Amino acid sequence: MGLQEGRGRYEEVVELGEVSYDEEEGNEEGRVASTSRSRSRGRERVPYGRRKEGRVWDWVRELSWRDPRTALAGLCLALLVVVALETLVVTIFAGVNGGRGGGSVVLEPERSLHEDYEGRSRVVRGGSGVVAADQGDCSEQGARALRAGGHAVDAAVATAFCLGVKNPFASGIGGGAFILVRLADGTAEAIDAREPAPALATERMFVGDPKKALEGGLAVAVPMEILGLHRAWERHGRLPWKDLVMPAAELAKGFAAHPYLVRSVERHRDAMEKFPDLGKIFMPRGRAPRVGETCCGRPRLSKTLEEIAINGPRVLYEGELARGLARDVQEAGGILTTGDLEQAKPRNLEVLEAEVMGMRVVTLPPPSSGAVVVSILKQIEARGFPVTTSGALGKHWLVEAMKNSFAARMSLGDPGTKSDPFLDAAKIEGVVEDLVSPKFAKSLVDATLDYGVRPAEEYGGIHGPFYVPDDNGTSHLSIVDADQNAVSMTTTINTGFGSKLVSRSTGILLNNEMDDFSIPGQPNTYGLAPSEANYVRGGKKPLSSMSPIIASGMDDGGLKIVLGGSGGPRIITAIAETFLGYVDRRLSPSDALQEPRLHHQLFPEDLLYENETSREIMTQLPLFGHRLKHENGGLGNCQMVVMENGTAVAVSDHRKDGAPSKVDDDKLQ
């Protein structure tokens, strides 16, 4: 916007493509002026004290410092400017409570691109092994397992148990996981430890009251995380199970609060008040813990973890612990039974494999969304690799690829479910084959408009259109050991603090994974449209956005990338953007992970962008027809390890204040 002065008048000009600002929220909303406009205003003098509305600019220009009245007015104006600037600075470094209650102002943890709150680097290099998790102390727990001679799977067990205690809002033994293991010889394995619905669950159990899928006993699906971890450990672990779990049991007695935990507790103040057992743990003094303050002691959880460490995970699924857990859920209105726990078993899946940009990428098939990530990458590759997804046109292509892939995702579900009238396993297999197919990617690209967008129902190719509709609490870890065995694992309790239900007998904070199912006529908490293939059914696993991937070289078969993320459906786009940044645009591992992201999931029809997005992108993308919406929080949180010249480089995302850890040769036992 510029001011052009003329004879006794000025014009305010808005150039084509300039982003306007929402005056109430202070955010750039991406509303674009379609034409230049100007308006003229006369500059007649108005006596002091009788200024007309809209003449403030003229009045400021006419201030005379020789006149005491105008001098005083000028000083007042200067003071107001100083106060406004101070307020702006405070606003930048503080965030407004994002929960449904509370409403207090929360200081943001410092989001340094290079260091976490304790000064640990976001990037480490190590030839003997590295761990990247979204909490630095837990990365170090995994690194200790590697120093003791452990396999990457040992490190994953230690890291995951630690995360469940130190980041309880995101993961824990009350949730589930997908685990992708790539061995040094190049073979890969996939373990599905996703939480199934209790046997008594029905398709319409949340119709009319979808909030019950979010909070309380009815929201709880069968916990599976430790069963998946134990399955992987049985196959590849080198260290005693007890040694990997006991550190988490000690942590559960209490630990120093870190900034991201403090922020998460404050955001969920309303839930802490609504669910007293949750509040007693995280707000025992009626407030969130202060950074560095010992907090969150959970003696019952500590005892449960000790039992699991000594006797193995089945103690939670059979016997007294299982009976207590089922009873606690039922007393809170849930339908989890001891039978559900006794029958709980992880599944070994055949890995999904695709060639992408000269690499062999492996991931998990549904109910994971690994195929959706691959589909985005294949569409970009179909334009001619390298295509460089920078600049407005490149970002437009990327966003259109996101929308196509989310449209096709609507046809996915859990193919392992038997006798589901809404789910055709053969059809799901066909959709997955298309999502990783170069031919299908090319057909989607051919239908994409280079300088415009299409109606939502036209996305997804032969797997669209679909009917128009009426991951927050997640963690990821990426690990490579000295032998280049690798683990990419995503674990979750779904939304922040899961169901908000704490089992009184076990101390476990339970998931609300039932919200990841589709409810007829109702989008879920992330705004994803309902899909018949993902309707609730007893024993069925809900479709997940979790999409861990591992990439190897096509020529030499050597390990290249271990990558995954957290953040609901934003996981999918965050992984794709990070991969493209590193492989397509050849950014450094740190820049690929930390640069600003975009996200579009087709419904709602908003293109989300982060704070640091360039003005060029914000200005030009609306010209393609995209409706921009500012996202104050991060768009997904990724953890990545890449191999460069035989050295593992681990990077953790600043958006969740993560920090990686490495194995120093001089610390090896």
Instruction: Show binding-site residues for L-glutamate.
Output: 194, 492-494, 516, 544-545, 568
Q: Is 602 left (phi over 0), alpha (psi -120 to 50) or beta?
A: left
Binding-site residue numbers are 194, 492-494, 516, 544-545, 568
CB 610 within 8 A of CB 631: yes
The rounded distance, in Å, linking the Cα atoms of 212 and 218 is 6
The rounded distance, in Å, linking the Cα atoms of 640 and 587 is 13
Paired with 126 in beta bridges are: 648
Q: What are phi and psi of 354, to 5 degrees?
A: -150, 150
The rounded distance, in Å, linking the Cα atoms of 133 and 140 is 9
3-state secondary structure 402-430: HHHHHHHHCCCCCCCCCCCCCCCHHHHHH
CA distances in angstroms from 464 to 308, 378, 382, listed in the order given: 46, 18, 20
**Burial profile 244-266: b = 16 or more Cβ within 10 angstroms, e = fewer:** bbbbbbebbebbbbbbbbbbbbb
3-state DSSP assignment of residue 317? coil
Q: Is 391 left (phi over 0), alpha (psi -120 to 50) or beta?
A: left
Q: Where are the beta strands (DSSP E) in 211-279?
A: 255-256
Hey, what amino acid is at 217?
A: G
Q: What number of other Cβ atoms are within 10 A of residue 17's Cβ?
A: 16
3-state DSSP assignment of residue 629? strand
* Residues designated catalytic: 474
| DSSP assignment letter at 513 | G
The DSSP element (H or E) to which 647 belongs, if any, is strand 647-652
Q: Cα torsion at 266, 268, 273, 279 (round to 10°)? A: -70
Q: What is the DSSP string of 21-79?
A: E-TTT--EEEEE-SS----EEE-----TT-PPTT-HHHHHHT--TTSHHHHHHHHHHHH
The rounded distance, in Å, linking the Cα atoms of 271 and 269 is 5
Tokens representing 267? Answer: 């955001």
CB 232 within 8 A of CB 178: no
Query: Helices in 459-609 by DSSP H: which ranges?
Result: 570-583, 589-594
The rounded distance, in Å, linking the Cα atoms of 513 and 214 is 8
CB 175 within 8 A of CB 513: yes
CB 499 within 8 A of CB 482: no
Tokens representing 595? Answer: 């640069």
| DSSP assignment letter at 503 | P
CB 188 within 8 A of CB 559: no
User: Taking the CA atoms of the chain, what radius of gyration do you get in angstroms?
Assistant: 27
